[in-house]
Chain A
């Protein structure tokens, strides 16, 4: 029930931001579509802490700031490699440790790896992520960057172990 209320609030904020109209007819359409989406989500049983991780919201802005810093750093590094000579690109595949206990934490970690230019996550395995990096130096920086510690994670663990295909 708490998740449903939070979903309605989130949808209402999204609707008002995207529409910006306050005419009664349009407000009624907005309420109607929010009710419809909430009804579908309830029917599909997708309202749970994993699909709507409201518990993470407070920790996300800090993580995003950290991630933007990493993205800017690695973008500049990758840009140098685009214009570099033959030594600039020596792709490697390495295993990055992933200590996340929940699927959502793992997904945030793997997507953050992919989001930083120079590293792409290839495959999730239990407790590690297989990562393709542009150069051994990029791989070393990624391993020393502390991303595994920085990833925010919902507290409650899901019932099946992470890394299993769903």
Chain B
């Protein structure tokens, strides 16, 4: 196995790791908005590293150009979709849980319900 292939597999597996991190973050983060940040890891660096790894394997071929197109189109469309989602959530009445509300949530789970946690 050549050095190029080893580098490619390292990139692909690192990208896969970041995709996994994004999924874990979606489960761990407290509300819609912070989960979007985590999903963004999968969209951006996960896709970038996997496509870079595949580009190394493809070499100077047409497939390389297609991989570049995939990255460019992905990076143009995914933030647009994320923004639409954030705006839809905001206009639908889902307000971000800010630092103070989260402190209230922790208090609510350990002691009693507070009005802020129902918002």
Residue numbers of A with Cβ under 8 A of B are: 14, 17-18, 20, 68, 71-72, 75, 78-79, 81-83, 86, 89-93, 110-112, 114-123, 132, 134, 136
Q: Do B40 and A78 have beta carbons less than 8 Å apart?
A: yes
Interface readout for B85-119 with A: 1 if CB under 8 Å, 0 if not? 01100100000111100100010000000000000
B69 in contact with A91 (CB, 8 Å):
no
State whether B38 touches A82 (Cβ < 8 A): yes
Closest to B90 in A: A122
Answer yes or no: B29 CB below 8 A from chain A CBs.
Answer: yes
The yes or no answer to B62 lying at the interface (CB within 8 A) is yes
8 nearest A-B residue pairs (beta carbon): A114-B79, A90-B99, A82-B25, A75-B45, A117-B40, A111-B79, A20-B62, A17-B65
Query: A79 and B18 in contact (CB under 8 A), knowing A71-B48, A91-B31, A92-B99?
Result: yes
Other-chain residue from A75, A86, A115, A120 in contact with B75 (beta carbon distance below 8 A): A115
The interface residues of chain A lying within 8 Å CB-to-CB of B28 are 82
User: Chain B 33-77, CB within 8 Å of chain A: the 1/0 string?
Assistant: 110111011001100100000000000001001100100000110
With CB as the reference atom, state the residue of chain B lying closest to A73: B45
The residue in chain A whose Cβ has the minimal distance to the Cβ of B29 is: A89
CB within 8 Å for A111 and B76 given contacts A120-B40, A122-B87: yes
A-B contact pairs, 6 of them (CB 8 A): A20-B62, A68-B48, A78-B41, A82-B28, A114-B79, A115-B79
Complex: how many Å from CA A136 to CA B30? 16
Given A86-B106, A111-B79, are A120 and B36 also a contact pair (CB < 8 Å)?
yes
Q: Confirm or deny: B6 has a beta carbon within 8 angstroms of a beta carbon on chain A.
A: no
* A-B contact sample (19 more), CB < 8 A, given A81-B25, A86-B106: A14-B69, A17-B62, A78-B41, A83-B24, A89-B29, A89-B30, A89-B102, A90-B99, A93-B98, A111-B83, A112-B79, A116-B44, A118-B37, A119-B37, A120-B40, A123-B87, A132-B86, A134-B34, A136-B99
